[in-house]
């Protein structure tokens, strides 16, 4: 039996129009429950006749098994709650707030996004890569690393809070309430949550500041001296604070000389990539890179040439790796690259592009020295069970072998 809401005019669906819902996940989860237990589904889109219903209908399902007088299960009783009610309330609550309000699930998919094309990516095969991590990896690391907070990036101001569902099974009038799946442990249940994010673009922040300044100017003509002092003080403090926040943000995230991610942020990305590989099963390659003879160039030709050597080397690497790859500076002449969804054989092919650029530069003899890099690549696959520090140590050891070969060859050439 099925009863449709029908916009407030309930109607019983004819038997010939009923659908078989037995294969659906919420039926399978609910039918495994005991008497008095209630199942709560995740928020997703309603599916009718094997297709996503249009217009889209977000849905949360409450369901419990039904027993006959002999205690035998006969089916389930399910109540569909329109998830659009939640989304409309969220929109109406935040419509007077500056910026954009977004809602994401625990995997980083948009439920309520900056535009409709990004929403419900996990429901469509061709949208599986529409996640916050790929669109803004810096914001993703911060938002999913804390329960709540506020931070600035070059793109604007982010404010976020985590909304968790049932962290522990709780009692209702029917008995025990099971969140998502009765078969899942509490630790796994705790992974289900939503992130409510408010984002104000830098341009809009600038416009807000300009509006404030214009208001101050109007007051200035009424209270010339007092408002003039207040305007100067507030504007001066604003720019000082903004400049200080920008410097702190850049210092904490990027290497000042090369503009690459620094060691701290690079290690966060490496730890995240290890988790992604363990979850998805797709390997990645880690490369440890060292600039040969940087100290010699500094000592003989000066630090300006040393800086040129570092910047040119990093430029060749950045031009050769893919957009999805990550290059970080560990310090001085050492770097590491995370080549996502990449085997060690593919990594060596990518490195050949770097070698070609270096050979081309050296052949022109523009400098009294040669650019030369040593590298060591390793591959991480699902189940390797290694930490980020262990991977860097292994890649460093492989790089050192190549560097020793370079030193031996240099000694032979001199002799």
Lowest mean pLDDT among 83-97, 158-172, 222-236: 222-236
The whole-angstrom separation of Cα 276 and Cα 140 is 14
Identical fold between 3-82 and 97-168+184-253: yes
Instruction: Count the residues in the chain.
Output: 415
Amino acid 204: pLDDT: 82
Q: What is the mean pLDDT of the segment spanning 87-104? A: 81
- For residue 43, which of 145, 127, 119 has the smallest C-alpha distance? 119
The two most distant CA atoms of the chain are separated, in Å, by 97
d(CA 390, CA 205): 43
Looking at 224-233, 241-250, 280-289, which range is the least confident one?
A: 241-250
**pLDDT(187) > 70:** no
**255 exposure class (CB count in 10 Å sphere: 0-12, 13-18, 19+):** buried
CATH architecture group of domain 3-82: 2-Layer Sandwich (3.30)
Give me the chain's average pLDDT, please: 82
Going by C-alpha positions, the residue among 199, 196, 166, 194 that lies closest to residue 180 is 166
Let me know how many helices (H) and strands (E) the chain has, helices first: 12, 19
Under 8 Å between Cβ of 290 and 403: yes
Whether the predicted pLDDT of 179 surpasses 60: no
> pLDDT category, 175, cuts 50, 70, 90?
very low
Q: Tell me what pLDDT residue 348 has.
A: 94
CATH number 3.30.450.20 given to 97-168+184-253: yes
Summarize pLDDT for 333-389 with one digit per residue, the tens: 999 999 999 999 999 999 999 999 999 999 999 999 999 999 999 999 999 999 999
Q: Find the range with the poorest average confidence among 86-95, 178-187, 256-265, 272-281.
A: 178-187
Of 149, 104, 110, 114, give the one whose Cα is nearest residue 130: 110
Helix or strand (DSSP H, E) at 75: strand 73-82
Pick the CATH number of 263-414 from 2.40.160.20, 3.40.50.720, 3.30.365.10, 3.30.70.270: 3.30.70.270
User: Domain map of the chain by residue range?
Assistant: 3-82, 97-168+184-253, 263-414
Percent of the chain with pLDDT over 90: 41
Residues 6+ apart with CB under 8 A from 266: 326, 328, 329, 330, 336, 338
Angle, alpha carbons 158-271-260 (nearest 5°): 65
Q: Does 208 score more than 90 pLDDT?
A: no
């Amino acid at each position: 039996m099925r009863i449709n809401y029908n916009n407030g005019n309930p109607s019983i669906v004819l038997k010939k129009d009923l659908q078989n819902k037995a294969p659906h996940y919420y039926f399978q989860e609910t039918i495994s429950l005991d008497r008095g237990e209630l199942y709560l589904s995740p928020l997703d889109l309603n599916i009718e006749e094997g297709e996503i219903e249009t217009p889209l209908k977000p849905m949360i399902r409450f369901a419990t098994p039904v027993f006959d007088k002999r205690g035998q299960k006969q089916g389930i009783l399910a109540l569909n709650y329109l998830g659009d009610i939640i989304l409309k309330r969220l929109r109406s609550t935040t419509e007077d707030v500056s910026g954009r309000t977004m809602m994401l699930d625990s995997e980083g998919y948009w439920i309520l996004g900056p535009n409709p094309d990004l929403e419900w990516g996990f429901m469509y095969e061709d949208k599986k890569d529409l996640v916050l991590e790929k669109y803004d990896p810096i914001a993703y690391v911060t938002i999913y690393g804390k329960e709540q907070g506020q931070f600035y990036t070059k793109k604007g101001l982010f404010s976020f809070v985590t909304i968790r569902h049932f962290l522990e099974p709780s009692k209702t009038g029917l008995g025990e309430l099971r969140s998502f799946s009765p078969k899942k442990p509490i630790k796994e249940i705790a992974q289900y949550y939503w992130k409510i994010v408010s984002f104000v673009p830098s341009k809009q922040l600038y416009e807000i500041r300009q509006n404030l300044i214009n208001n101050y100017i109007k007051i200035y003509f009424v209270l010339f001296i007092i408002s003039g002092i207040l305007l100067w003080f507030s504007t001066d403090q604003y720019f000082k604070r903004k400049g200080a926040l920008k410097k702190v943000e850049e210092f904490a995230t990027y290497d000042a000389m090369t503009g690459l991610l620094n060691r701290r942020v690079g290690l966060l990305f490496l730890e995240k990539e290890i988790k992604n590989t363990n979850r998805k099963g797709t390997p990645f390659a880690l490369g440890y890179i060292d600039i040969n003879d940087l100290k010699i160039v500094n000592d003989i030709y000066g630090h300006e040439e040393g800086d040129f050597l570092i910047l040119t080397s990093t430029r060749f690497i950045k031009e050769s790796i893919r957009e999805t790859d990550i290059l970080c500076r560990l310090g001085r002449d050492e770097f590491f690259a995370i080549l996502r969804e990449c085997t060690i054989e593919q990594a060596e092919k990518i490195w050949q592009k770097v070698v070609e650029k270096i050979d081309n530069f050296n052949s022109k003899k523009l400098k009294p020295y040669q650019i030369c890099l040593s590298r060591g690549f390793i591959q991480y696959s699902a189940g390797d069970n290694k930490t980020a520090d262990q991977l860097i140590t292994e890649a460093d050891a492989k790089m050192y072998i190549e560097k020793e070969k370079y030193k031996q060859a240099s000694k032979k050439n001199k002799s």
